[in-house]
Amino acid sequence: MRVADPLEFPSQFPPRGPTSLPPDRPREPILRLPAALTAYVLLIAFVHLRVLLPELEDWTIEVFGFIPKRYDTTLLDVAFPGGEGAKVWTFVTYSLLHVNLFHLGFNVLWLLPFGSALARRFGAVRFFVFMAVTAAAGALAHLVTHEHALDPMIGASASVSGTMAAAIRFAFVRGSYLSFSGSDAEAAAKVPALPLMRALRDGRVITFLAVWFGLNILFGLVSVGIGTDGAPIAWQAHNGGFFAGLLLFSLFDPVPRVRVDAADAS
């Protein structure tokens, strides 16, 4: 998704004042996707299209989907597709698979604003590692709460949840995405983050957390399904990815911390 560049001033009316940007540093539109996020979206879209092939769909989900029963130590001589290797790679590969186009589109829609911010802030390598780590955290949360489940879990929702949690660490700081002080995309993504305890004392962060966890609990209680397939939402995995993104953000963040007296949540 791209938008046109901002209109330039006509040459006879040059920009004035300290807020003007030099000619070699044009503003980048907020909605222009960074390359790392574009590559990730194309990857999961390509994987989904391949899975749609009838001869590959069941095999792919069984080998690369996350199946809690695969780790059940009480089973004797039960072979699962993918062998021992699947016990390792499925902690991440499940996040590249989706139930249907609605499921894929829903995750991409939620990923665009938060993933754009993190991809710009982290850079490609950190961003991809972060997506893998939050996916693994979501799988671990699902495993703990569904120890004997045979149904495969698939979808990028845990990683998307992780990006949401990480983004709120800096999104309310002055000059960033959710503050009243506007900025271009690159500058908004690079503002110093709030310390975790300071962020957790911010009223809007608390409201965001309350709404997020409330929705996930609601999903669990009413067993809301995805699209027409009726697949239940793995809300525990969402929470696992969210907590990982919130707590591990500092390990990935290359931007120096903000001083407590310099943060602005308005």
Are residues 258 and 192 in contact, defined by beta-carbon separation less than 8 angstroms?
yes
End-to-end CA distance of the chain: 29
Give the pLDDT score at 78.
67
Q: What is the rounded CA–CA span in Å between residue 197 and residue 43?
A: 35
Please report the pLDDT score of residue 196 as a whole number.
86
> Which of the 8 DSSP states describes residue 144?
H
Backbone φ and ψ of 66, nearest 5°:
-90, 115
Question: pTM for the complete prediction?
Answer: 0.78
List the structure tokens of 246.
């919130």
Q: Which of 88, 98, 115 is nearest to 32 (CA)?
A: 115
The pLDDT, as a whole number, for residue 3 is 35
pLDDT at 81: 79
Judge whether 177 and 227 are in contact, CB under 8 Å: no
- The alpha carbon dihedral of 143, 144, 150, 152 has a sign of negative
pLDDT at 77: 60
pLDDT at 16: 43
Give all domains of the chain, ordered by start, each with its CATH number: 35-262 (1.20.1540.10)
Q: What is the pLDDT of residue 1?
A: 35
Q: List the chain pLDDT tens, one digit each, 266 residues.
A: 333 333 333 333 444 444 444 444 444 444 578 899 999 999 999 998 876 666 677 788 889 999 998 888 776 566 777 888 899 999 999 999 998 888 899 899 989 989 998 999 999 999 999 999 999 999 999 999 988 888 899 999 999 999 999 988 888 777 666 654 445 777 778 888 888 888 888 888 888 888 888 877 776 666 544 444 556 678 889 999 999 999 999 999 998 875 554 444 43
